[in-house]
Amino acid sequence: MKIRTLFYLGAVIITMMLASCSKYSGFTKSDSGIYYKFYVENKDSLKPVEGSILTMNMIYRMEIGGKDSILFNSADMPRAFEINLAKSEFKGDIYEAFSMLHKGDSATFIINANDFFTKTAKYPTLPEGLDSTSMLYFDVKLLNAETMEERQKAEAQKAEKLKNEEVGKIQSYLTTNNVTTAPTASGIYIITQNAGSGRGIQKADFVKINLTVTAIDGKKIFSTLDNDRPITFEFGQPFDTKGFEEAVATMKKGSKATVVVPSVMGFGERGKKDMSGQDIVSPFSPIVYEIEVLDLKTKTEHEKAMKEEEENAKKAASEAMGKEPALIEKYVKDNKITAKPGASGIYYIEKVKGKGALASSGKKVKVHYTGKLLNGKVFDSSLERKPSTPFEFTIGKGEVIPGWDEGISMMSAGGKATLIIPSKMGYGERGTGADIPAYSPLVFDVELISISDK
């Protein structure tokens, strides 16, 4: 975790000039060279020690031409911002700044950019556009500081509390929802809405389901209904919890049921965490499944269906390949586009002309984009993410589809354009995912945010 978020954010300013100042009104300079200003200072409260886990609100910014440019705001993150307080590597580094805080303190620290990038972030050289006088600003409020031992103790206490509450939570759910179904021997409750018909599900069957998973309090964890993408899995192979498997074994094609699963048959005393270590399911937490069996096939039937699906996909791809030129021509005509395609077939429609040099091969670029099919369906957009973050790649390195390498290289920083990309310069005969079929021409509205060497 060692300040990795800060290192990532630092990369944002590679191409931006930071105005340096010789005076910082209201700030105090420490012996090690850190400029700091406290807005709230709680000298009697807890002060972090080396190795502490710091939870804080933080804005990471710089000043350009006397104006603030905010690069990161922890308020935009879905979870609290945390870092480990590492040992200072040199006098005046960011770790020393954070060690000056007490729990509840609010302050701004001004750190030398050269020291931060070359010493703390271990950049081989100072990013282009910065010099030895450039300064970075960190506005922080320390919400909590705890050692690893304290964190583990708190988590253990939380788990014990959840363990003691579990039976009551299940009983409350059953009462609220008027559930009279008796539990199975393992303790799960299978509340059937539709019994289904035909044979039961057996080992090695391929089962297609819609699945919604919620916490016992109703908080949604996952649902195939969100994107209308049912799941097919081989029954008998590891897939989810023991409670889920026990319930599915009682179902048939067309079956629909709500299943209440105690933690012993769910995710147990460990719960389930995401990649960042945050709880998806807390320890000792019962969960609720909504399961609908849409289809059921033997392994032989499944393999036959897959083969037929593959053949149909090839047929559809062949038809799409033949129709593609006419579809692009119609789109261009309907949208009154006067630009002519390049040798590769890409249409470049400039909306706003950028400034400076073009994004040539080997340059690192940051781009905001919205991708659509010719029918207008949006399949991806950097602007719809929270927080919205430009996509970063290096021109000519094969990190993106060929159409992007070619199209973005026609732009300068600050430019905006629409790219119409034929499938041969996109995802070709394979397509990608469920949203982009084979031989799909694509339309991208793009804005080139910045260009840099690294």
Computed from CA positions of residues 202, 205, 210, 213, in that sequence, does the dihedral angle turn out positive or negative? Answer: positive
Sign of CA dihedral 386, 392, 398, 401: positive
Among 401, 408, 436, 449, the active-site one is 401
Cis before 387? omega within 30: yes
Nearest to 15, CA basis, from 389, 412, 376: 412
- Exactly one of 380, 391, 393, 435 is catalytic; which is it? 380
Size of the chain in residues: 454
Question: Which of the residues 98, 109, 267, 369 is marked catalytic?
Answer: 369
36 noted as active-site residue? no
Is the CB of residue 231 less than 8 Å from the CB of residue 208?
yes
Q: Which two tokens stand for residue 16?
A: 């931006």
* Separation of alpha carbons 237 and 323, rounded Å: 42
Question: Of 205, 427, 436, 445, which one is the catalytic site residue?
Answer: 427
Is residue 427 part of the annotated active site? The answer reads yes
Q: Is 380 a catalytic residue?
A: yes
* Catalytic choice (36, 444, 449, 451): 444
Respond yes or no: is residue 379 known to be catalytic.
Answer: yes
Catalytic residue (choose from 7, 233, 379, 393): 379
3-state helix, strand, coil in the chain (%, to 5): 25, 35, 40
Sequence-distant (≥ 6) Cβ neighbours of residue 247 within 8 angstroms: 188, 190, 257, 259, 261, 289, 291
Alpha helix ranges (H) inside 177-259 = 242-248
239 is an active site residue: no
Q: Let me know if 401 is a catalytic residue.
A: yes
Q: Which residue has the tokens 């603030």?
A: 68
Q: Which residues are annotated as catalytic?
A: 369, 379-380, 401, 427, 444
